[in-house]
Amino acid sequence: MWRLYLRDVFYTLGVAAAGAALTFALAIPVCGWLRARAFGPVEFLLKVPLFVPFVVVGHALRVFLSPWAPGLAGSWTGIAVALAWKHLGLAALLLLGAFRAVDESHLEAARNVGAGTARLTKDVLVPMSAPSLAVSAVLIFSSMLASFSIPLMMGRGGGAQMLMIDVYYRFGQHGDFETAAALGVVGYLMAMGAALVYLRRLTPPLQRRSLR
Amino acid sequence: MRGVAPIHVAAAVKRYGAVAALRGVSLDFPAGRLTAVLGPSGCGKTTLLRAIAGFLRLDEGRVRFGDDDVTALPPQQRGTAMVFQSYALWPHMTVFDNVAYGLRLKRVPKPEIAKRVGAALALVEIGDIDAVARRKPAALSGGQQQRVALARALVVEPRVLLLDEPLSNLDAKVRQRLRVEIRRLQRRVGITTVYVTHDQEEALAIADRVVLMSAGRVVQAGTPQEVYLAPATEFAADFLGVGTRLEARAEPGVLVLDETRQRLPYAGAERGPVVVVLRASDVALGGAGATLGGDLEESLFLGDRWRHYVRIGGAMLIVDGDAPRAAGPVRVSVSAARLRVYPRQGGSSC
């Protein structure tokens, strides 16, 4: 069974990693710009995806992508794009919080010696928010690993599937509770791997030592 | 250095909602000199500095560096360098990278960056340059961090150096030492410098020129001696030095204190309700001549002198002396030449 689903495991990891990378590639520059010069309408637009249901996102992206890039709508890249758009709001929420916690004087010191917004983001905001960014990345990656509605709505006829789709089909279509449970455990272990990074980042070193 | 430029601020106005932080400030900061902007918290001195740096946009007025109008320029195009109260060193970069950052942005060749960073760190007397340059800011003391911040500001050869309460976070001893070093450094580099502080001793000690601000306005500008010895207003007299403010009525030849009706000889021109500012160093317990009667309530030992608190009616007169005194009735001598008398107005400070 492991051999049957190994491809799906890597497919799921790949889609989640690509989706998370795309989310941050979009969110970091926009949040850096918003940190440097607050602009309410852009911040609002960035957070809109937070309030759109997963199913609606999947459907909408399929509808929007199909006419322009028919191959993309049902592909792993299409799913990654949809997941990235949906998680943009959460990423913006987490990143803006982290960027706004960076003291203004650190930004002013950089602007003072010639840094524009892009360099400010790359050289000051991102490195100074690195722990928060890592935690945000893990949260978003874990959420994407467990995504179900968007891959279902974006739909693929065959080939590799997201793991949660497999769980649904084994359980819902075939009544195969054992395989569904085993796939669920695999999904859980994958999320736990990410969670370990999260917990290590959140737990201060001293506490970690005493926990050993 | 990109040419030493004087700074001209003309009719600067900055409002935060209903609150005016700057109310038509016009000032000239001479080229190559260190000007201290002094005033209590909230008087607008940091707002003025940030307007010069370009970190905030003025509602009205202009800022010029020499002949260049920089009012509309963003901070990165003004050629200023600022040293912050909190140092604002980037914690993820080494000392070398902190100082080199501005040069890298200007695409200065690597060998020249290394040379200029070394020279800047030597200029601020950081100590073992090679060892310090490799460290992160967190591994340095507060004094060393402020030296690195100074090096970072100077290495880009700015037209104007802006210091925002740079010594406020340091302990008294380091502050005293760095104060002298900043002065020496500024003289050596000869850069136009604006130094914002609320510490009058620091301002008087370090500056070629002192600008005293209150409630978004310039109260007085001049050499430290002029501002301290001839304060132009009641606020200036009250803010500079340690003193007491007594309300009185000026009559020909005499000042009559409102509360106690005690009298002091007065040769000045003011008439009617006035405020008399008596500095602790200008009055003494006992002595001959004009005196005021009061009750000594407390004497505090300050190390190099004693500070006595004498109650005169509702006011507490502060008197410095060189010996302790027992509590009880005392006479306080007041030198007529040191009397500072101003027409009485409403609230004066921020």
pLDDT (tens digit per residue) in B125-150 = 888 889 999 999 999 999 899 999 99
* Alpha carbon of A107: minimum distance to chain B alpha carbons (Å): 8
- Read off the tokens for B346: 């409403």
Residue B58 maps to which CATH number? 3.40.50.300
Q: Is the pLDDT of residue B2 over 70?
A: no
- One-letter amino acid for residue A98 of the chain: A
Closest CA of chain B from A194, distance in Å: 25
Q: How many helices (H) and strands (E) does chain A have?
A: 13, 0
Q: Which element (helix H / strand E) includes B104? A: helix B95-105
Q: How confident is the model at residue B256 (pLDDT cuts 50, 70, 90)?
A: very high
CA distance A21 to chain B (A): 23
Pick the residue from chain B with its C-alpha nearest to A117: B76
User: What domain range includes position B301?
Assistant: 242-343
**pLDDT tens, residue by residue, B204-225:** 999 999 999 999 999 999 999 9
> What contacts 24+ positions apart, CB below 8 Å, involve A129-135?
A129/A95, A129/A98, A129/A99, A129/A101, A129/A102, A130/B92, A131/A201, A132/A94, A132/A95, A132/A97, A132/A98, A132/A101, A133/A24, A133/A95, A133/A98, A134/A197, A134/A201, A135/A94, A135/A198, A135/A201, A135/A202
A130 touches chain B (CB under 8 A): yes
Domain assignment present for residue B350? The answer is no
Q: Give the whole-number percent of chain B exceeding pLDDT 90.
A: 65
Lowest mean pLDDT among A143-147, A197-201, B169-173, B264-268: A197-201
Q: How far is B290 from chain A (nearest CA, A)?
A: 53
Query: Which contiguous run of DSSP H or E holds residue A94?
Result: helix A76-100
- What ipTM was reported for this prediction? 0.80
Asked if B84 reaches chain A (Cβ–Cβ under 8 Å), the answer is yes
**Interchain contact, A103 vs B88, CB within 8 Å:** yes
Looking at B229, B258, B287, the residue that finishes a domain is B229
Count of CB atoms situated within 10 Å of the CB of B33 = 18
Residue identified by tokens 């007169």 is B317
Residue at A7: amino acid letter: R
**In a shared domain, residues B185 and B72:** yes
pLDDT recorded at residue A122: 95
Residue B237 lies in a domain: no
Share above pLDDT 70 across residues of chain B, in percent, rounded to a whole number: 97
Same-domain check for residues B102 and B216? yes
Q: Is the pLDDT of residue B81 over 70?
A: yes
**Number of cross-chain residue pairs from A and B with Cβ atoms under 8 Å apart:** 60
| DSSP type of residue B3 | -
Same domain, B194 and B336: no
Mean pLDDT of chain B: 90
Nearest to A108 among B55, B102, B106 (CB): B55
Question: Which residue ranges form the domains of chain A, and what is each CATH number?
Answer: 15-157 (1.10.3720.10)
Contact A113 B81 (CB under 8 A): yes
- Rounded to whole angstroms, the Cα distance separating B315 from B196 reads 32
**Cα B34 to Cα A132: distance, rounded to the nearest angstrom:** 42
Q: What's the rounded mean pLDDT across residues B180-185?
A: 89
CA distance A168 to chain B (A): 46
Sheet holding B263-265, edge to edge: B263-265, B254-257, B243-251, B272-279, B340-343
Domain membership flag for residue B1: no
Domain count for chain B, please give it: 2
pLDDT of residue B349: 42
| B124 domain-assigned | yes
**pLDDT given for residue A159 in this prediction:** 77
CA–CA distance, B140 with A156 (Å, rounded to integer) = 58
Give the mean model confidence (pLDDT) for residues B298-322.
Answer: 92
pLDDT of residue B65: 95
Q: Which residue is it, tokens 């960076």?
A: A102
What is the SS3 assignment for B280?
Answer: helix
β-sheet with B7-16: strand ranges across: B19-29, B7-16, B60-65, B68-69
Chain A contact set for B86 (CB, 8 A): 103, 105
Longest Cα pair distance anywhere in chain B, in angstroms? 76
One domain for residues B170 and B265:
no
pLDDT reported for residue A90: 93
Angle at B199 between CA B193 and CA B204, to 5 degrees: 60
Residue B233 has pLDDT above 50, yes or no: yes
Residues of chain A found within 8 Å of residue B91, distances taken between Cβ atoms = 128
Residues B105, B27: one domain? yes
Q: What does the pLDDT profile of chain A (212 residues) look like in tens digits?
A: 667 788 888 999 999 999 999 999 999 999 999 998 878 888 888 888 888 888 888 888 888 877 777 777 778 888 899 999 999 999 999 999 999 999 999 999 999 988 999 999 999 999 999 988 988 998 899 999 888 888 888 876 667 888 888 888 888 888 888 888 988 898 888 888 877 877 776 666 555 555 55
**What pLDDT was estimated at residue B348?**
42
CA A13 – CA A156 distance, rounded (Å):
17
Examine the domain organization and report whether B148 and B251 are in the same domain.
no
- Judge if B191 and B271 occupy the same domain: no
- Do residue B90 and residue A109 have CB atoms under 8 angstroms apart? yes
Whether residue B316 is contained in a domain is answered as yes
> Cα separation of B12 and B26, whole Å?
6
Average pLDDT over residues B18-25: 93
Q: In angstroms, rounded to a whole number, what is the distance separating the alpha carbons of residues A164 and A150?
A: 11
In terms of domains, do B83 and B46 share one?
Answer: yes
From B75, B72, B112, B80, select the one nearest B5 (Cα to Cα). B80
* Ramachandran class of B289: left when φ > 0, alpha when ψ lies in -120 to 50, beta otherwise: left
Do the bridges between strand B272-279 and strand B340-343 make them parallel or antiparallel, or are there none, so unpaired? Answer: antiparallel
Smallest CA–CA distance from B80 into chain A, residue = A112
User: Does B2 map to a domain?
Assistant: no
> Of the residues B181, B201, B229, which one is the last residue of a structural domain?
B229
CA distance linking residue B25 with residue B37, whole number of Å: 12
Q: Is the pLDDT of residue B239 over 60?
A: yes
Position B33 scores a pLDDT of 95
In terms of CA atoms, which chain A residue is nearest residue B158? Answer: A113
Among B76, B86, B99, B194, the residue to mutate for chain A (most A Cβ within 10 A): B76
- The pLDDT tens digits of the residues spanning B318-347 come to 999 988 888 899 999 988 778 889 998 754
The verdict on B247 and B222 lying in the same domain is no
Q: Is A148 left (phi over 0), alpha (psi -120 to 50) or beta?
A: alpha
Last residue within a domain, chosen from B229, B264, B283: B229
**Residue B122 shares a structural domain with residue B255:** no
Are A124 and B86 an interchain contact pair (Cβ–Cβ within 8 Å)? Answer: no
Q: Would B348 be classed as within a structural domain? A: no
Query: Which among A108, A113, A130 is the nearest to B105, CB-wise?
Result: A113
Q: Quick check: is B234 in a domain? A: no
Same domain, B215 and B312: no
Contacts of A124 in chain B (CB under 8 A): 90
Q: Are residues B23 and B48 in the same domain?
A: yes
Q: State how far the Cα of B57 lies from the Cα of B41, in Å rounded to an integer.
A: 21
Which residue of B lies nearest to A126 if distances are taken between CA atoms? B92
Would you list the DSSP string of B142-179? Answer: HHHHHHHHHHHHHHT--SEEEEESTTTTS-HHHHHHHH
